[in-house]
Chain A
Amino acid sequence: MKPSVLRLVWPAALILYALPAALQAQEHNPFANDPQAAEAGKSHFRINCSLCHGLGARGGARGPDLTRPQKKHGNSDADMFRTIHDGVVGTDMPPAMGSLGVEMKDQEIWQVIAYLRSVQVKTAPPSGNPEHGKALFNGFASCSKCHMVEGKGGRLGPDLTTIAAARSLESLIESVRDPSKSLVPGYETVTIVTADGKDARGFIMNEDRFSVQMMDTNESILLLDKDALKSFKKSPVSLMPPYPASALSDKDLEDIIGYLLAVSAK
């Protein structure tokens, strides 16, 4: 009896071990176009992903907009599975299991992908001229005075090398037209006056209850004790001036965004 039992048990064991690997290794989502799976995926997404990517996957404080067809780390089902399952080394994106606050099995990951496909926008990407956009960025529009792209530019604003992959088109436009409306945390304007009457304006690089480290508009780093300051004021306003259509046309803005999209896709 024993050999026959073993013969039965071995294939069963192989199937059990092979199942997760098969689910993981496949190229296409087994739940593609399944509305029930997409609904389940929505729940998993809200619990595990939305803290960074936003409730509707439209991007959040730390994660990119996932409703766009172009994904930074690959668009295929297999690419998206890998990104979610393994996380992305060198970014905030954690693996799906074994990290604090995120727990998804393979089936749940596929359901999340089904959900993301269901909310993917169908509109065509902006068709700006990247070369003209680059020229504007570094010239007429003066963006590079404060923003770095691929290691070149100023330090007073956020590095924009990957910004187009992380933000929605609407968000990028708003950041140029009305930069104070949705200010990136940490880029509020700070104004200080020292005990001997010197003043400075810039943004806070770090602070605690007792000290502040700030960069002024000359890109100098100032190290200050709060108790020793005559005045210390934070304002929820960006150092960046607004760019209305009268200062930067819609077409020029589209070209600049086209440039940022091209850079972020590298």
Chain B
Amino acid sequence: MNKLLTQSMVGLALGFSAVSACAQVTFDRLLNSAKEPQNWLTYSGDYSAHRFSLLDQINATNGKSLVAKWVYQTGAPGDGSNGRFETTTLVVDGILYGTGQDGRVFALDARTGRPIWHYERQPPTDIRPCCGRVNRGLAILGDKVFYGTLDAHVVALDAKTGHLVWDVVAADYKKGYSFTVAPLAVKNLIIISPAGGEYGIRGFVDAYDAATGQRKWRLYTVPEPGQPGSETWGGDSWQIGGAPGWVTGAYDPATNQLFWTTGNPSPSNRGLAREGDNLYSDCLLAIDADTGKLNWHFQFTKHDTHDWDATEVPVIIDSGGKHLIVHANRNGFFYVLDRTTGKLLSATSYGNATWSHSKDAEGRPAPDKDTEPTQEGRRMCPGAAGVTNWFSPSFDPQTGLFYVNTNETCDIFSTAPQKYEAGNAYYGSAYFNADDSPGVGVVKALDPLTGQKKWEFQHLTTSWSGVLSTAGGVMLTGDAQGNFILLDARSGKALWHFQTGGEIHGGPMAYAVDGKEYIAVPAGTALYTFGLP
């Protein structure tokens, strides 16, 4: 983007005052989020899912002098029993909104961290979400904020008071359904999709009327007999086929399409009971936002037996007249697709992926012979956690680079036959770190058109932190040891770090109030903000 334009936009943004809080967040504002970079209105910052801020007050020259501005404690136990703090906070006109563990929602003065309201909803005592009692954030639309609960409710709260507006049951938590994803608001709809791929759920993507909570459409991510794709499931396995969409997708207003990704088929690591490709698990889905109709799909991993969910954020990029969508996948390949047709343009290894050394007729990485888990155990790279995972990447239109945290791990995958029982964990497997080491984590800057690496920054161990880039020429990320780190976006050189004391498992974001830029990131069980002295 033009530098002059950027500066003028930021100047305009910093001129906004917190006093003007509580204006309605219309769909038009969400569409034009770039016009108000002082705010962060959706999970990924914009509908293209760039997680890029136009704010440039904090930059590569002064970034070394960042200081902590305030810290908000969520009040969740710090022992990990309530899951990681994975939220991406939203900011609207000086008010910061976020979710904590176990159904907490909070609104804070974004200048000071002082609470404005707090909402807490006790989950049932018998919920057993697969991978922690986590929540990744909110959607905001009109005068309400929206989130999903661990017992599979969709909840709307008054954005000014935190009072409950509506609460609808989307699915039966006793069968393993839960919500951990941050919903996406599009037009008058709240889009959400469950977690539960380790519990034998049948995945779906739902749209709810933001005003009433009435469900407007549902797209099952596992087709039933008679529907296209049903032939990819053996027997009745489709009924418990998984394919949950537990990470927020992107939206293309030009074609009115949602781009939503799906997770593993169930059981995650044993394919004997579900012969076939298992559509639409591990897919990118292009969905008509008004009707929920599936326009096209692309499956990254067919008949997955390694838990390589495709639930990584898909990122919309336009380049040279091409309308693209790119995806750094858990299976170790970086995919570039034409987002109009779903045609694969390229797939490039961007991490340690030992399972494929050839491509199929469409150019999709094809599995080698003998890659399936065995009773005795088989080593495979990446491990089940993948080269990357749900934590957000970032695309910086100024550098033209795609940033993503990657992890180098391998697992021994071993099958363990298991009978399905509703609501019980349904893995069909066991897998372990193959190398008796915590693995290596690396931030990589990729050319998003080719997947080729431009620079890298090595962590001490694997990292599950999201990445943020800004118009200040910096990118920010975290590590498992609690460091929040600012890198030069062009070179990857570390310019500043701060020890938060808690593992960073969420997505950084940027906002501004009263002319001052802030960076916020969850760490441990607290939300930290940073700014210039």
Contact = CB atoms under 8 A, between A and B. Distances in A.
B427 A47 contact: yes
Of A44, A47, A50, A103, chain B has the most CB atoms within 10 Å of the CB of A47
Contacts of B429: 46-47
Given A100-B132, A103-B128, A209 B479 contact: yes
Interface in A204-233: 207-210
B165 interface: no
Contact of B460 (A42, A46, A98, A207): A207
Interface in A66-99: 98-99
Contact of B483 (A42, A43, A46, A208): A208
B482 A47 contact: no
Contacts of B417: 43
B430 A50 contact: yes
Contacts of A100: 81, 131-132
Interface centre among B416, B460, B485 (most CB of A within 10 A): B416
A100 B101 CA distance: 14
Interface string A232-246: 000000000000000
Contact of B436 (A43, A61, A99): A61
B482 A208 contact: yes
A209 B430 contact: no
A262 interface: no
| Interface majority SS (helix, strand, loop, mixed), chain B | loop
A103 B127 CA distance: 12
Contact of B497 (A51, A55, A61, A209): A209
Given A208-B479, A208-B482, A208-B499, A50 B460 contact: no
A43 B432 contact: no
Contacts of B499: 208
A3 interface: no
Contacts of B460: 207-209
Contacts, number: 52
A51 B424 CA distance: 19
A11 interface: no
A47 B130 CA distance: 13
Interface in B403-458: 414, 416-418, 424-425, 427, 429-430, 432, 436-437
B479 A46 contact: no
B50 interface: no
Given A55-B377, A55-B414, A210-B497, A46 B430 contact: yes
Contact of A103 (B131, B414, B425, B497): B425
A205 B479 CA distance: 18
B459 interface: yes
A50 B432 contact: yes
Interface of A: 42-44, 46-47, 50-51, 55, 61, 98-100, 103, 185, 207-210
29 contacts: A42-B416, A43-B418, A46-B414, A46-B416, A46-B429, A46-B430, A47-B430, A51-B430, A51-B432, A55-B432, A100-B81, A100-B131, A100-B132, A103-B128, A103-B424, A185-B436, A185-B437, A207-B460, A207-B481, A208-B460, A208-B481, A208-B482, A208-B483, A209-B459, A209-B460, A209-B485, A209-B494, A210-B483, A210-B497
Interface of B: 81, 128, 131-132, 377, 414, 416-418, 424-425, 427, 429-430, 432, 436-437, 459-460, 479, 481-483, 485, 494, 497, 499
Please indicate which of the listed interface residues A42, A50, A98, A100 has the most CB atoms of chain B within 10 Å of its own CB.
A100
A44 B416 CA distance: 8
Contacts of B377: 55
A46 B427 CA distance: 11
Contacts of A61: 436
A44 B81 CA distance: 22
Contacts of A209: 459-460, 479, 481, 483, 485, 494, 497
A43 B270 CA distance: 12
Nearest to A212: B460
Contacts of A46: 414, 416, 429-430
B459 A43 contact: no
B482 to A, nearest CB: 7
Contacts of B437: 185
A55 B430 contact: yes
Contacts of A42: 416
- Pairs A-B, 4 closest by C-beta atoms: A208-B481, A46-B416, A46-B430, A43-B416
Contacts of B481: 207-209
A35 to B, nearest CB: 15
A239 B170 CA distance: 58
A210 B483 CA distance: 9
A43 B132 CA distance: 23
B464 to A, nearest CB: 15
A148 B515 CA distance: 58
A209 B417 CA distance: 41
Contacts of B414: 46, 55
Q: Which of A98, A99, A208 has the most CB of B within 10 A?
A: A208
